[in-house]
Amino acid sequence: MEKNLKILILLFYYKRPQMVRNAIDSILNSTYDNYEVAFINDSGELSSDHVLDYIKETKSYSKFKQYNINQSDEEKLSQGGSIFGKYANQAIQESDSDIVIMLCDDDALDHDYLENLNQYYGKNKSILWSYGYVKYYNPSIESYTEAIDSYGSRELRGSVDDLNRNTSALNPYCQCDASQVSFRRECFTEKDVWFSFPLTRNLDASIYRDMFNKIGWCYPNKFYTQCKGAFPDQLGNRTKDFDLTIT
């Protein structure tokens, strides 16, 4: 009997306490239970305690481990970016997981993504990393449960492209979004590929580049991975958060 693989979710958070609830709720509502979350908070001196407060009474709260990066925006600017990558590496080193995925604070998991990952890697033991497809939604006006798979059928003016265009093995550098791609943890611990830092906007592209150079092709798993947030000023001003109706 195949074991249930443990999945580590690297949840990258920066000053979006309302919007990130889509990501958190999608994890809580997943059809798969063998996971842990590294909640990596890059909000300076702002603790992430208040962000996770509403789930403290749930049985899943113990699966969330917080990493607070206590650096001001000025410090990050002076050093050339955030040290997200340093804490992502630490979380991977401290984990006993089998599979690692990334999740941004404006995105969410498709409800059966983790279960599909477990089955895919259980059956395809030689594959070290893979990518899937996304659904799109605008987290400024709707819940991730309203996401659809057709980019361009709505006015989604975020800085995203059609992420469902690929169907074969590829180098995901500049072709896939962060949460589309999953890795076996051994890609880091045995192949010695780690996140770069300081770095902010190109964190996922950087790890894709290094992974491809050491491991080779990333294979399509052909199922939906994330609900991709697409909205105006997606990567820009973080001072305005949104009041969301979470369903």
Q: Are 156 and 231 in contact (CB under 8 A)?
A: yes
Residue 13: strand pairing partners: 41
How many other C-beta atoms lie within 10 A of the C-beta of residue 28?
Answer: 17
For residue range 134-159, list pLDDT tens digits in order: 999 888 788 999 998 876 666 655 55
pLDDT for position 141: 82
If phi > 0 it is left, if psi is from -120 to 50 it is alpha, else beta; for residue 104 that is: beta
pLDDT for position 246: 35
pLDDT for position 159: 55
Spatial strand order of the sheet with 7-13 comes to 64-68, 35-41, 7-13, 99-104, 181-184, 129-137, 219-229, 108-109
All residue ranges of the chain with pLDDT < 50 are 238-247
**pTM of this prediction?**
0.91
* SS3 category, 66: strand
For residue range 50-72, list pLDDT tens digits in order: 899 999 999 999 999 999 999 88
Q: How far apart are CA 19 and CA 138, in angstroms?
A: 10
State the pairing for strand pair 129-137/181-184.
antiparallel
Q: Where in the chain are the domains?
A: 7-131+178-216
CATH 3.40.50.150 given to domain 7-131+178-216: no
